[in-house]
Amino acid sequence: MLKLPLVASVLGYAATQVRAFGFPDCVNGPLSNTTVCDTSASPVDRAKALIAMFTTDELVSNSNTGAPGVPRLGVPAYQSAEEALHGLANSPGIMFADSGDFSFATSFPSPLHMSATFDDPAILAVGDVISTEARAFSNAERASLDYFTPNINPVRDPRWGRAQETPGEDPFRSAQYAYHYVQGLQGGIDPKQVKIAADCKHLVGYDLENPPGTNRFIFDAKISPQDLAEYFIVPFTSCVRDAKAFSVMCAFNALNGLPSCADPFLLQTVLRDHLGFDEERWVVADCDAIEFLFDQRHFVTDFVHAAAVGMNAGTDIDCGTTFGDNLGQALTMGLVNTTRLSTALSRQYASLMRLGFFDPPDNQPYRKLSWTDVSTPSAQALARRIAADGMVLLKNSGNTLPLSSSIKKLAIIGPWASATTQMQSNYAGPAPFLVSPAAAAKSAGYTVTVASGTGINSGDTSGFAEAVAASQGADAVIYAGGLDNSVEAEGMDRTTLTWPGNQLDLIAQLAAVGKPVVVLQFGGGQVDDATLKANPNVSSILWTGYPGQDGGSAVFDILAGKVPPAGRLPMTQYPGAYVDQVDMRDMTLRPSSSNPGRTYKWYTGTPTYEFGFGLSYTSFDLSFAGSTKSSYDIQALVSAGGSAPFIDRALLDTFEISVHNTGSVASDFVVLLFANTTAGPTPLPIKQLVSYVRAKSVAAGSTQSVELPVTLGSIARADENGDSWVYPGEYTLLVDVPTKVTHGFQLTGTKAQVGSWPRSG
């Protein structure tokens, strides 16, 4: 999205902005007696009727995200470049007031942080709050109605600077996150009255920024059909086919030689024909991706051909100015025709019909939302709770946490000690308030001494002495450090997985003081905690991510025991040596002589902390409840799944797990269900996530039963052509990380296809 390192690109992005607020008048305006304003007509027919009234020049001028509209028809300007990955964000389509009403919106934790909750209802609730606030801004003529969110590219490589924007490394988790988040944003699954339109990005294989010698704007991702079907496309299938998102963003990168925004196989064959992306939905190019077809990639000879190639391939709207500036000449030269251009615009306007943009406000419940619906007490409580629920306890020697009531004086040390805007991650907007760890500690009644000690990526040790002195006078030391957007960001990958700067040296000195030391590991991407894990004087490690507006309060909800930790790592924490074992540009997932394997599914080394790892303040026993089958007939499963909308969503079975809290603290508990098998193509994945659920508030000494549905698609494997099959053979279900209980079963019969990958011409 916003490409800050490129000044010209930022200027180009800004040039697409228009004063794009307000609604057409379908009661008294020029369109009032036309099909456009006839609510009994279909959205597509209404949109086509509107586009048929546009002149060729008007078609061209409205092909960018910053569209001037058609004043003679009463069609206002429209800006479709808003951001809402975890709250309304500074972006061309949103206008925050300088103060007072509409000067802020709820700022939730980063998507990666929220994903660590493994709590799908909470993700849906966050999407619902954000869409409510978006509608309130829109009604005040301060925002439009479609948003470039969610970012669902799975994190193939831990160095990626934008991992914080995503649900993490697992495609199944990312798919579920997308399904529930889009549902919250849009007001349901393909509802008649859409709340706001979600945009799933970035199609496809976009998961690096700037490894040495690489430019993300022209990178060619070499990905096999097998990896595309089994990993990269999985979240998009959920977002597009299942959740019915109204927009998809094509990526900067090329896929197997063709730029994504100029690839008819990807945009037509895969997206529209295979995934069912219909004529009410539209493709937008990532910002300036069409421009880059010429001036960076040199895929074509000039901007006119860039516009024509992008449009003809299936890109409908340009986030940039290349379409608007050049499609007129492309039409004159016969490189593109008005039919294709009309289709492109009718798709976006069809989605606006679904959004009620052309309908009288009295018929639309969302038009009644106002400033009183922004940053409500319930929204603030949700932001704080999901921040705490997403924190992951990695180490807790001697049960140092929760902090004893005898601890009164805290030394809060580190570059995150007084963090405010740092906590918001990227793509954020003004928050109603920002509570730092130090401020939260004081509010919780602790006597607090604060010392930064060092910076995020600094070699300066001049602050060490002050930090050590503060620790000597405290009952316990809280070190707040890790990563932030100065070392991981859009346009900025990491080259190392170790703690940056001299933070480890400072922590070692603090640990030598002899007081309990709790390390708060902020940031998105994981850093190798091996040194801290092995240091007996480091009592606890808590991954605190990017916790949002009330992040400091959430931290102390965990530290003080108000909210017991139950989050799970959404990414593998690799040892630092991983960066020397595989080139970031190597897109393959499976292990080979030059690749130790990627993600928990394939990594053959020993992680510092596994995907899905997370400790608790209590203890749990797990067991399979009820009857469990030892054998299933594949053909019977496929036959029984005939009523499912897609065969890959048909059930294998629903497994019941008993969660028994054997400790003394009531707590949530995330049940993770993995599967592995000896069946299917080799090499075999070590295991793969097939279901999960977050059991809520399991009382001490009590048992709570949870159900985990497992679909045929989740246990299927893709062959070399990308076709997915359920294979006969031996399977094992594995519960929790590390595994606490298993169940084996056999699939009998012959293999059955439950998914296909389109063939490229």
Domains and CATH numbers, the chain: 23-369 (3.20.20.300), 379-602 (3.40.50.1700), 620-755 (2.60.40.10)
Average pLDDT score over residue span 666-674: 98
Local structure of 58: helix, strand or coil:
helix
Could you give the CA distance from residue 761 to residue 749 in angstroms, rounded to a whole number?
34
Q: What is the CA radius of gyration of the chain?
A: 26
The pLDDT of residue 275 is above 60: yes
**Catalytic hit among 120, 146, 227, 286:** 286
pLDDT digits (tens, 9 = 90+) for 48-67: 999 999 999 999 999 999 99
Measuring CA to CA, how many Å separate 219 from each of 118, 349, 585, 670, 685? 32, 32, 9, 38, 27
The pLDDT of residue 9 is above 50: no
pLDDT score recorded for residue 18:
53
Average pLDDT score over residue span 390-412: 97
Q: Can you point out the beta strands (E) in 119-260?
A: 146-147, 197-203, 220-221, 247-250, 254-255, 258-259
pLDDT score recorded for residue 644:
81
pLDDT score recorded for residue 643:
80
Q: What is the 3-state secondary structure (H, E, C) of 349-374?
A: HHHHHHCCCCCCHHHCHHHHCCHHHC
Average pLDDT score over residue span 573-585: 97
Average pLDDT score over residue span 269-273: 97
Mean model confidence pLDDT for the chain: 95
Residue 440 contacts residue 552 (beta carbons within 8 Å): yes
Could you give the CA distance from residue 51 to residue 373 in angstroms, rounded to a whole number?
34
pLDDT score recorded for residue 626:
83
Residue the block writes with tokens 């859009």: 490
What is the reported pTM? 0.96
pLDDT score recorded for residue 627:
86
Q: Please, which residues bridge with residue 542 across strands? A: 393, 520
Average pLDDT score over residue span 673-697: 97
Is 295 labeled as catalytic in the residue annotation? Answer: no
* Helix, strand, coil percentages in the chain from 3-state DSSP, rounded to 5: 30, 20, 50
17 pLDDT band (50/70/90 cuts)?
low
Average pLDDT score over residue span 487-491: 96
Q: Which 8-state DSSP code applies to residue 268?
A: I
pLDDT digits (tens, 9 = 90+) for 182-239: 999 999 999 999 999 999 999 999 999 999 889 999 999 999 999 999 999 999 999 9
Within 10 angstroms of residue 212's Cβ, the number of other Cβ atoms is: 9
pLDDT score recorded for residue 761:
62
613 pLDDT band (50/70/90 cuts)?
very high
Percent of the chain with pLDDT over 90: 94
The pLDDT of residue 379 is above 80: yes
pLDDT score recorded for residue 19:
55
